[in-house]
């Protein structure tokens, strides 16, 4: 999570001397402009990647003879010190130095003198920032991927614990057909499985090393990009220097993957909100994961689930923000692109935070099997099973549907469910219906017979859970 850091606002007079690019300027930067253009209040978080990238770059400069080996060593030692300074909170960030890249470089020069000025050889902040963001997103993908896996494990555990519990499956939020709770939960397993796949897919396009593109056109110096990529664990190197500094597809894809994770989480959250209401009474969420009302003493609100649902909106917002920032930008780098970081950070933080809290909450729920079962025994929920019963007696499904519709109407008149309607009433509707119809109408039969591949039958669920337990080990 982003912590707060102290940032020094340098006086204007000092600023001119401070800025690495000040040579071409006669006047100092307007203070408002300085604040407006600075990204250090948020991009300081990239420091571990910025330093790792700089160390790899300096090593390469030494190895290729672009700078002397011993100069490279001094630079690396300086950078390692700076890493410690930032990690321990003794580093002084400055708004006048705009961003994390210039803050670190200036400190390096301050510490080791003019040798520090050699670090930026054959490099631009344009390829540097692209590198940092790619490295950051690689780690966030790994973190989110792990969190999703943990959530999937919880879903499998819950599905195992409640593998025999039936509840109504809904369409249009109307009771439709009975299903097993385990089967219902594993629907979410599959959603999060696709989300993990999306992250893996996105990773392949993030994992491309842009350093060496320079400002946009490459460099005249004999750099070794393969070496840098290897040092930083990249599997590929960007092929076009202009694309390398102007591409933010990878960031958009990452936020899009986050948005879809949140959408799935939000749907599950919505079900928990419904299920924990008095109207459903299917589950209780533990006290630790609910909050009270300041006016209504009886209230226990599912705020974690609600906020997860709500935070989905901000991740969608980040996705729209970055898509909009990028639209219409001419090649190559434009300062607009500095606006990429906050949406990326916020999406990554929001997903990670939501997943972490949500998992604990999910672990805390108590399932009320009886309430679920009562709802699943709703008078007409096995109507499709009655139609299928007639189909098994060779009646075309359309005719069967018509007869069952009439049976439902008759049962409503008689104020009973399908299971309780006497056989003579069924006989009036179709001579094909016999005593054995009551077997077909039971909850157990309805669920138990849905053995088609991917259906809700207990035998299917058991098999799937066996596979998933091995897969998730």
How many residues belong to the chain? 473
CB of 153 to ligand ARG, least distance (A): 37
Binding mask 261-300 toward ligand ARG (x if CB under 6 A, else -) reads ----------------------------------------
Binding mask 47-86 for ligand ARG (x = CB under 6 A): ----------------------------------------
CB nearer to ligand ARG: give 35 or 201: 35
Which residues, numbered 208-237, are part of the site for ligand ARG (CB under 6 A)? Answer: none
- Whether omega for the bond prior to residue 395 falls within 30 degrees of 0, making it cis, is no
Cβ proximity to ligand ARG: between 21 and 239 the closer is 21
- Residues that bind ligand ARG (rule: CB under 6 A) add up to a total of 10
> If phi over 0 gives left and psi between -120 and 50 gives alpha, with beta otherwise, what is residue 333?
beta
Ordered DSSP codes for 293-325: -SS-TT--B-HHHHHHHHHHHHHHHHHHHHHHH
Nearer to ligand ARG, 325 or 390 (CB): 325
> Buried (b) or exposed (e) across 115-149, using 16+ Cβ within 10 A?
bbebbbebbbbbbbbbbbbbbbbbebbeebbebbe
For residue 28 the two structure tokens come to 């100092």
The tokens describing 406, both together, are 């009439």
- φ/ψ of residue 8, rounded to 5: -85, 135
Nearer to ligand ARG (CB atom), residue 128 or residue 446: 128
All residues at 6 or more sequence positions from 370 whose CB lies less than 8 Å from its CB, including other chains? none
**Any residues with CB less than 8 A from the CB of 53 and at least 6 apart, and which?**
128, 131, 132, 135, 211, 232
Contact 340, 250 (CB under 8 A): no
Map residues 433-462 to x or -, x wherever contact with ligand ARG holds by CB under 6 A. Answer: ------------------------------
User: Which one of 150, 293, 356, 459 is the catalytic residue?
Assistant: 293
Mark 127-166 with x for binding to ligand ARG (rule: CB under 6 A) and - for no binding: --x-------------------------------------
Q: Single out the catalytic residue among 114, 172, 294, 452.
A: 172
Residue 39, interface with ligand ARG (CB under 6 A)? yes
**Shortest Cβ 276–ligand ARG spacing (Å):** 44
For residue 363, the minimal CB distance to ligand ARG (Å) is: 39
Minimum CB distance to ligand ARG, residue 44 (Å):
11
Letters for 94-133 (x = contact with ligand ARG by CB under 6 A, - = none) are -----x-------------------------xx--x----
Q: Dihedral sign, CA of 313, 133, 213, 233?
A: negative
Least Å distance, CB 279 to ligand ARG, is: 50
64 CB contacts (<8 Å, ≥6 apart)? 221, 222, 223, 224
Pairing type for strands 93-94 and 166-171 reads unpaired
Q: Report the nearest approach of ligand ARG to the CB of residue 49 (Å).
A: 13
Of the candidates 286, 220, 208, the one whose C-alpha atom is nearest the C-alpha of residue 248 is 208
**Residues 301, 303, 305, CA angle at the centre, nearest 5°?**
115
**Axis crossing angle, helix 397-414 with helix 383-392, rounded to the nearest 10:** 140
In degrees, rounded to 5, the angle at the alpha carbon of residue 332 between the alpha carbons of residues 320 and 31 is: 75
- 229/337 with CB nearer ligand ARG: 337
The smaller minimum CB distance to ligand ARG, of residues 126 and 266, is found at: 126
- Binding mask 321-360 vs ligand ARG (x if CB under 6 A, - otherwise)? ------------x-x-xx----------------------
Smallest gap from Cβ 125 to ligand ARG, in A, equals: 4
Nearest-angstrom CA–CA distance, 140 and 365: 28
By DSSP bridging, strand 208-209 and strand 366-367 are unpaired
Is the Cβ of residue 39 or residue 446 nearer to ligand ARG in the bound state? Answer: 39
Q: Report in angstroms how near the CB of residue 121 gets to ligand ARG at its nearest.
A: 17
When the beta carbons of 29 and 152 are compared against ligand ARG, the nearer one is 29
Q: Does residue 184 have an active-site annotation?
A: no
3-class SS shares of the chain: helix, strand, coil, % to 5? 65, 5, 30
φ, ψ of residue 237 to 5 degrees: the values are -125, 140
CB of 338 to ligand ARG, least distance (A): 4
| Catalytic residue list contains 172 | yes
Antiparallel, parallel or unpaired: β 208-209 and 236-237: parallel
| Closer CB to ligand ARG, 180 or 216, in the complex | 216
Catalytic residue list: 172, 293
Q: Which residues are near ligand ARG by CB under 6 A?
A: 39, 43, 99, 125-126, 129, 333, 335, 337-338
């Amino acid at each position: 999570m982003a912590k707060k850091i102290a940032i020094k606002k340098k006086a204007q007079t000092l600023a001119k001397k401070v800025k690495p690019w000040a040579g071409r300027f006669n006047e100092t930067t307007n203070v408002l402009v300085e604040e407006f253009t600075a990204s250090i209040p948020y991009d300081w978080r990239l420091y571990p990647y910025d330093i790792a990238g700089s160390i790899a770059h300096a090593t390469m400069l030494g190895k290729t003879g672009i700078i002397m080996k011993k100069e490279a060593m001094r630079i690396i030692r300086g950078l390692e010190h700076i890493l410690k300074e930032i990690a321990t909170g003794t580093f002084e960030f400055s708004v006048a130095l705009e961003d994390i890249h210039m803050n670190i470089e200036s400190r390096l020069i301050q510490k080791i003198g003019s040798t520090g000025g050699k670090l930026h050889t054959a490099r631009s902040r344009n390829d540097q920032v692209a590198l940092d963001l790619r490295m950051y997103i690689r780690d966030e993908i790994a973190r989110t991927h792990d969190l999703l896996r943990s959530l999937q494990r919880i879903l499998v555990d819950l599905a195992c614990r409640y593998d025999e519990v039936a509840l109504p499956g809904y369409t249009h939020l109307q009771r439709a057909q009975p299903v097993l709770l385990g089967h219902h939960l594993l629907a979410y397993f599959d959603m999060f499985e696709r989300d993990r796949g999306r992250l893996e897919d996105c990773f392949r396009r993030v994992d491309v090393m842009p350093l060496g593109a320079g400002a946009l056109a490459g460099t005249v110096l004999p750099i070794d990009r393969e070496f840098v990529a290897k040092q930083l664990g990249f599997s590929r190197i960007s092929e076009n220097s202009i694309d390398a500094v102007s591409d933010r597809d990878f960031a958009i894809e990452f936020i899009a993957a986050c948005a879809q994770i949140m959408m799935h989480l939000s749907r599950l959250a919505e079900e928990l909100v419904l299920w924990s209401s008095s109207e459903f009474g299917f589950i209780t969420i533990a006290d630790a994961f609910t909050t009270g009302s300041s006016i209504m003493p009886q209230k226990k609100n599912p705020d974690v689930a609600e906020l997860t649902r709500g935070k989905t909106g901000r991740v969608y917002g980040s996705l729209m923000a970055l898509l909009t920032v990028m639209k219409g930008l001419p090649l190559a780098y434009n300062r607009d692109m500095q606006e990429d970081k906050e949406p990326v950070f916020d999406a990554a933080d929001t997903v990670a935070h939501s997943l972490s809290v949500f998992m604990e909450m999910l672990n805390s729920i108590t399932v009320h099997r009886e309430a679920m079962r009562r709802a699943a025994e709703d008078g007409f929920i096995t109507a499709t099973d009655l139609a299928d019963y007639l189909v098994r007696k060779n009646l075309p499904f359309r005719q069967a549907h018509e007869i069952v519709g009439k049976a439902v109407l008759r049962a409503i008149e008689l104020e009973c469910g399908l299971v309780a309607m006497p056989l003579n009433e069924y006989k009036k509707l179709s001579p094909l219906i016999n005593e054995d119809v009551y077997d077909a109408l039971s909850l157990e039969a309805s669920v138990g017979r849905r053995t088609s591949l991917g259906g809700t039958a207990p035998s299917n669920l058991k098999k799937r859970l066996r596979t998933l337990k091995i897969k998730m080990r």
